[in-house]
Copies of this chain bind each other. A is one copy, B any other.
């Protein structure tokens, strides 16, 4: 008899680790491109990987997960070290990492919203804020630290994918569906929109300069 059941919790944990690594890799890449040393690379990789979650935890009065579970900082530091040694080889595969980044965006959005759900219950606004801050907080700091305008403000369908995933997650959860199933659907929506936007170069409208 084949057992199709698997631990959705573990599955989301694995995605969480992959998302953390992907975010850390984007931080390490920016640090290397701006001539940072090995320690600066590790620090920026770690900032991008964990700062969104720490900010969320600060707002919700939780002790940051990144401070209590050493797995996160281990993953971001290891990502920084690996990027330091393999950057020239890996930069050709950055497109692959953008896929992980999209996974990270989706996972972090839903993890953030889930934590707000645990703390304050099924309320849309806190879930939205917590999800978006978790997903884009680290990337905003990354771009600010290397003196670029944060990508979420100027380019591509990015934060909007996070919002869409959280809205769907909230809607499904509200209709009584199990939280683990809702999580998977929310992640698929956010990550899927981001991947489609990258593939088809979707952009949102801008003000026409006359």
Contact = CB atoms under 8 A, between A and B. Distances in A.
B129 A37 contact: no
The secondary-structure label for the interface of chain A is: helix
A177 to B, nearest CB: 24
A206 B35 contact: yes
Copies of chain A in the complex? 3
A32 interface: yes
A59 interface: yes
A54 interface: yes
Most chain B beta-carbon neighbours within 10 Å: one of A32, A41, A70, A145: A145
Interface of A: 31-32, 34-41, 43-44, 54, 57-61, 63-64, 66-68, 70, 73, 84, 87-88, 120, 125-126, 129, 140, 144-150, 152-155, 157, 159-160, 203-207, 210
